[in-house]
Amino acid sequence: MNLGFVGLGAMGLPMTAHLLEAGHRVTVSSRSRGPIEKAVGLGAVEAGSPSAVVEASDVAIVCVPSSPEVDEVVGSMVSVLGPGKIVVDCSTIDPDVERRQHERVTATGADFLDAPLSGGTAGAINGTLTLMVGGSREVLERARPALDPFAQTIVHVGGPGMGQVVKLCNNIIYAAQMLATAEACAMAVKSGVDMEKLYEVLLHSTGDCVAVRTRLPVKGVVSDSPASNGWSPGFMTDLMAKDLDLALSYGAKTGVPLVAAALSRQVLTAAVTAGYAREDFSALAKVIFSMANVEY
């Protein structure tokens, strides 16, 4: 299948690698030279622009950081879109902005899906991402060969923009989990609790959650956690902060109070201010530990 990929970041490059491993011809475009060279080294074909990616592809996947960037990329594609083409946006952006992209693309006769991702860099590398897909179910089935190589779970969640809504709901919960995990760990460390024993208890108790299992913010307890690996990001602090900004904005539009999201966002703000923007978002725990006079 002739595929395209725009945006070879921490997620996009390993996703592209899986597409190439699956035997697809992949044409790529990205703002940074390094990832393009890596993709070409794996067998991808370089294109000079997103429009050139679309021209070479049956399905073009977009994975960029923000709403304005998606708007810009899709805008550059419109002139070469038409019947038979599919654009899949795997970015996490504002649901209303995404719905406008659906309208722009389908007006050309092409098709569009929003398919934001969950699973972080590890999921992209391992090909185990979860995709929450908004748009036509029939279009999803046509696009599935372009998504299966890097996704373990693909769920059609509704019409245009609904993938983005579901992604924001997921990240509201995940951020709140992380904040609660950080607070609990700070109290445990300050009280002299054996953290490996706490971890064992949590795994078999009602406190069990993804944040505990993968991001317990105490070095040495979970060997592959960011805390045990210099806070190396699976999902950066500034990206989680961006997603919560999107959630808070959409919550205001829909009249839903997002108290936990707002509190989590404030701690993320402190983490960014403290210099942890490019570290894993579990580094928000360092803010809580500092406030509690706990060494980390």
Residues assigned a catalytic role: 167
Helix (H) or strand (E) holding 183: helix 162-191
CA distance 218 to 226: 9
Q: Counting Cβ atoms within 10 Å, is residue 205 exposed (0-12), middle (13-18) or buried (19+)?
A: exposed
Residue type, 43: G
Q: Is 132 helix (H, G, I), strand (E, B) or coil?
A: strand
CA distance 65 to 9: 9
CA distance 77 to 109: 13
CA distance 243 to 175: 10
